[in-house]
Structure 1
Amino acid sequence: MSSPVTNLKILKRKKLLRKLHSENVNNLKLIELDKEDIDLRKYFGDDLMANLRMANYSYYSDSANKRKKNVRKRTAILYAKRVFFLFIAALIFNFGVIAFLNRGDTLPSGLSGFPMLAVLIAKDKGYRDWDKYFALMFILINLPLLIGFGFKVKRSFTILTAVFMISQLITNAIFTSIPQVHNFIHNYINIAPGWHKLVEFRDKAGNIIGTYENASSWPIIINGFLGSICAGTSIAIAWKNGGSTGGTDIIAYYFSTKKQKSVAGMMFTVNIIATSFFLLVFGIAAKHKEAVDLGVISSSSSVENVLEQPNSIIITLKDGFNINSIKKYVSHRTIFGLREFSTILYIIFNNIVLGLMYPKYKKVTLSIATKCPDAILNYFKHIKYWHAYTIFKGISGYSQEETYFIETTLLTLESKNIISDIKVIDPKAWISIRPVEQVKGAFNTKYVEE
């Protein structure tokens, strides 16, 4: 026999269940009476609403909510995160330049090619410490663009781009001004230990009698490839967080938003033009040197010793031998070599990485098959879904049951959150995704512009 306490608990539980049932019935009546102005929280419940990404985006981006305390707090956190990731982007970019691109004489595309060009030409003339001025030169070369285009594009984009450039100045100082960091990169992050691009010949007195390029040049390609991965990743992170790495990115942003074209495609066009100019200047100001086969010449009877220095290999000749003694090991000067080839590869890989990580205007069509169309349509109404969609009814060939199809075209960057929300609302929904090559007519891109 149950105790009075147990019976009391059961009665309270039944009373609570009747109350909840009554509330649910009333909510359902309200939904049926007014489907056009539905409260999604009543329809889906608070727990489900918390998992709807686009519903949260719609709430926080609504201008009517901008003065609310929770929205202001979320905006402050969002921009703090963006500043942090822009600093990370600057860290990756400068690391790629110092650890890889400098070693391979690879020219970055865009306006960053100007300071890099200055660094490489200075290095060719014997000034080895110019990489510490890279970020400063980069900021100076960007100022005219920021002033010229800064007022024609979104203000937050200009500010966040400036944040990236300031971060680049800081990270460049970390990599070049702190000896422990600089030495660590030079000694421990090296895909070809012992390899150097330049080979210097000296007499017994220590005088330089000839400087040549190392004929073994495969590390140039690897350094260029790794540098392009770093740069592409850095650029994509900057774009995804509302800014850019500056330079021709600002021009690409202006025209890509005006024409709603792919950022990677627009940057590829601008960068090819800029890099062609840089290669021409580099080819004139810092011509290729004649090359020597280090493996062959090191075992020559004319060589006294071989010494590795931070920026070159030094070969001292024995007494009685001069530079003419090693001429038979010297090959002709090249015009188009691996440094030029790696620069072109840099542009290609850079744009591939950017296109994969940040396909800004790439579009897809979603086809959603569902037996619960009301839930999905009310979700669209709640988030004020900004793209057109079509609804049609059909019969499933597999189950012979009535099925509704909802089809819409949207941006690839929007699709992930939309699909996630639909799977929360209707776990049994079947969704197919098709790429879209081109659309004609107006297309709302506010999601990637905010």
Structure 2
Amino acid sequence: MDIEKKNQIKSEEYKALAKARKNLKSKDKKPNAVFDLNPYNVNFFNVWKKFPKKMAFVFISAILYNIAIATFLAKAATVATGVSAIVQALTFTVSSTAPYFAYIYFALNLPLIIFYWKKNSRLFMILTTYWLLWQVLFQSILLIGPVGHTFNKISIFYVNWVSPSRELAYQNSFKSLIPWEAYGSYGTSYGNLFEWIKSNPARNVDGFYTLSNQAANELGYRFINESQFLQLKAFMEIFDKGFSNPTWPIIVYALIGATMAGIAGGIAWKNSASTAGGDFIVYYISRVKQKGVGHISTIVALFFGGFSIILIAIVELIGLSYNRPFNAAGLLLRILCSIAYVFVYTSFIELIFPKYRKVQISIYTKNPEKIIQHFKNIKYWHGYNIAKLIGGYTNTETIKIETFALYLEQSLIKNEVLLVDPSAWMTVTRVHNIIGKFNTSKVES
């Protein structure tokens, strides 16, 4: 047996399917491949044992997505997609809710999880729920003071960064760097710090400045040295004279966020999960219309994103949030970046998760009766052709079973074949187009 075939038999899907088939056989039952929502017999506990790799990728996807949305898009004040956009509308409007993005997102998804639990694949629902729980866990870690502050302090641009070549009385220090903000409300974000600097504080016996409680909460540090104090004071003086906040970071943050979120979404979909929220709607519509996930996701994302953009624009126009002043040029740029985000995000999903791509699978076997009978037992959902071939090298008869399937079904079909004929030989060829109706029920379940 070649290495590739050995790896296939060692795969998580093959092992889980083989065990499920063995259990069915012991109970004298036949599998229902089309309508069985839980062919692998998974639950919240055994999914760790049956699909450890999928769980690992779902964890990576959740962390990546949280960083993309709650950090990069939040810093750019750009809107994400689906239910995430609704959560962002709330966190932008009520700033105090921003650290709890994952909690709010999970709460809004609970009704959807309950509603779709018996309508979608059990593996899909379980892994998507775990995806949400990983987000909550990661967000909880960020709520730890020093961890969250350090994470939020990381930026692609600092407004008080100075060129190292300049000869000044101070140098760049991470403690005294002020991250760029989309709204430029530094007077609000660091109001207590600026007031403390203006009070001309004195250094202690160790040569350090001790910040007031309010100033320390804003900066994230209790003690700073002379160089750090001078760097903060220099920016305060520039800000008081009139500081022009740059807008180019909005574009960079939006592109980074879109790329990370798109990769996270693609990883989740490819590993039988999703980013929840609007993806439940995407999942249903794509099944009914047989359209690619990326295509439907674009439509749903634009709908939810449009709603949130309008809401945020109204909030800024009427001045409901004092630390988010209205700026027409900035708002227009964020709207354009939000639209760009949607297309970049969905493009990555379509690239990583080509749900409705078709392939031709050719099976060469010496035991056709076993494979054909197994196809009948599992109620194989696609048509297939059978042909007799004579091998030119061995001059022996080989049976070729040819079928057309979806790209995402090929692993399952290979596993089903190898269950009854481990010596079967298979080739997979991409098909660019099929005219006519095609059964997609298996990838929907």
Global fold match (TM > 0.5): yes
Q: Distance in 2 between matches of 1:415 and 1:435?
A: 16
Say if 1:364 and 1:436, in contact at 8 Å, map to a contact too. Answer: no
After TM superposition, give the deviation of residue 380 of structure 1 in Å: 6.0
Aligned partner letter, 2:301: N
Q: How does 1:136-155 map to 2 (within 5 A)?
A: 136-155=103-122
Report the counterpart of residue 182 of structure 2 in structure 1: 197
Q: Which has the higher strand share?
A: 1
2:148 paired residue among 172, 175, 182: 182
Say if 2:247 and 2:330, in contact at 8 Å, map to a contact too. Answer: no
Q: Residue by residue, what CA displacement relative to the aligned partner does 1:73-128 show, whole Å, maximum 9, x if unpaired?
A: 97651255555443333212111123311111111111111221122233xxxx4x
After TM superposition, give the deviation of residue 444 of structure 1 in Å: 5.4
Report the counterpart of residue 15 of structure 1 in structure 2: none
Say if 1:283 and 1:335, in contact at 8 Å, map to a contact too. Answer: no
Q: 1:339 to 1:193 in 2, by over 3 A?
A: same
Say if 1:65 and 1:71, in contact at 8 Å, map to a contact too. Answer: no
Percentage identity across aligned positions?
A: 27
Question: Between Structure 1 and Structure 2, how many residues are aligned?
Answer: 351
Say if 2:48 and 2:55, in contact at 8 Å, map to a contact too. Answer: no
Q: Distance in 2 between matches of 1:66 and 1:49?
A: 26
Aligned partner letter, 2:132: M
Q: Distance in 2 between matches of 1:84 and 1:223?
A: 27
Q: TM-score, normalised by structure 1?
A: 0.62
Report the counterpart of residue 165 of structure 1 in structure 2: 132
Say if 2:359 and 2:407, in contact at 8 Å, map to a contact too. Answer: yes
Report the counterpart of residue 121 of structure 1 in structure 2: 93
Aligned partner letter, 2:113: L
2:366 paired residue among 346, 361, 374: 374
Q: 1:79 to 1:239 in 2, by over 3 A?
A: same
1:340 paired residue among 335, 350, 362: 335
Report the counterpart of residue 224 of structure 1 in structure 2: 254
Say if 1:199 and 1:211, in contact at 8 Å, map to a contact too. Answer: no
Q: Distance in 2 between matches of 1:82 and 1:169?
A: 19
Say if 2:78 and 2:338, in contact at 8 Å, map to a contact too. Answer: yes
2:305 paired residue among 249, 256, 275: 275
The secondary structure found in structure 2 opposite 1:409 is: strand
Aligned partner letter, 1:229: T
Q: Distance in 2 between matches of 1:252 and 1:376?
A: 39
After TM superposition, give the deviation of residue 251 of structure 1 in Å: 1.9
Aligned partner letter, 1:275: G
Report the counterpart of residue 133 of structure 1 in structure 2: 100
Which is worse superposed, 100-109 or 408-417? 408-417
Say if 2:262 and 2:348, in contact at 8 Å, map to a contact too. Answer: yes
1:352 paired residue among 320, 324, 347: 347
Report the counterpart of residue 60 of structure 2 in structure 1: 88
Aligned partner letter, 1:337: L
The secondary structure found in structure 2 opposite 1:106 is: coil
2:18 paired residue among 51, 55, 59: 59
Aligned partner letter, 1:185: F
Report the counterpart of residue 440 of structure 1 in structure 2: 437
The secondary structure found in structure 1 opposite 2:437 is: coil
Q: Distance in 2 between matches of 1:375 and 1:238?
A: 37
Say if 1:388 and 1:408, in contact at 8 Å, map to a contact too. Answer: yes
Say if 1:156 and 1:242, in contact at 8 Å, map to a contact too. Answer: yes
Q: Are positions 1:255 and 2:255 aligned together?
A: no
Q: 1:149 to 1:119 in 2, by over 3 A?
A: same
The secondary structure found in structure 2 opposite 1:91 is: helix
The secondary structure found in structure 2 opposite 1:365 is: strand
The secondary structure found in structure 2 opposite 1:359 is: coil
The secondary structure found in structure 2 opposite 1:286 is: helix
Say if 1:60 and 1:66, in contact at 8 Å, map to a contact too. Answer: no
Aligned partner letter, 2:366: D
